[in-house]
Amino acid sequence: KQEVTQIPAALSVPEGENLVLNCSFTDSAIYNLQWFRQDPGKGLTSLLLIQSSQREQTSGRLNASLDKSSGRSTLYIAASQPGDSATYLCAVLNSGGYQKVTFGTGTKLQVIP
């Protein structure tokens, strides 16, 4: 059974700092990995999608990498801003006939002005 872990569970950084969020998964048989952000009491906003054949994706100040063989992904946020404060979730789309999705439990990020 796929298990997805995100470390740390919470992170507090001063504004302007570069930071890395981690996501690890136990089964490398995946179609893709998707990063989301969730604001308190709100829905999920898609940030980046990495296909299993890709190594990284970039969008603005965000860069996500994927190392399928080691079961790891990182989300790099450059020059963090208070507006980046949210919970960040990673989700893997498992390959195979049923294509289930497994989420990590998230990293709660606070960027202090």
Partner 1 sequence: EAQVTQNPRYLITVTGKKLTVTCSQNMNHEYMSWYRQDPGLGLRQIYYSMNVEVTDKGDVPEGYKVSRKEKRNFPLILESPSPNQTSLYFCASRSGGGYEQYFGPGTRLTVT
Among residues 51, 111, 38, the alpha carbon closest in space to that of 78 is found at 111
For partner 1, which residue of 18, 58, 70, 99 counts as binding (CB under 8 A)?
99
Spatial separation of the C-alpha atoms in residues 111 and 11, rounded to whole Å: 8
- With DSSP H G I counted as helix, E B as strand and the rest as coil, what are the percentages for the chain, rounded to 5? 5, 60, 40
Closer residue to partner 1 (CB): 48 or 80 = 48
Chain-centroid distance of CA 94 in Å reads 16
Closer residue to partner 1 (CB): 83 or 98 = 98
Using CB under 8 A as the binding rule, whether residue 44 contacts partner 1 is answered as yes
Using CB under 8 A as the binding rule, whether residue 102 contacts partner 1 is answered as yes
Residues between 50 and 69 that touch partner 1 (CB under 8 A): 51-52
**Can you list the positions of beta strands (E) in 19-96?**
19-25, 30-38, 44-51, 56-59, 62-67, 72-77, 86-94
Q: Tell me the window of 17-25, 59-67, 71-79, 93-101 that interacts with partner 1 (CB under 8 A).
A: 93-101
Which chain residues interact with partner 1 by CB under 8 A?
A: 31-32, 34, 36, 42-44, 46, 49, 51-52, 89, 91, 93, 98-106
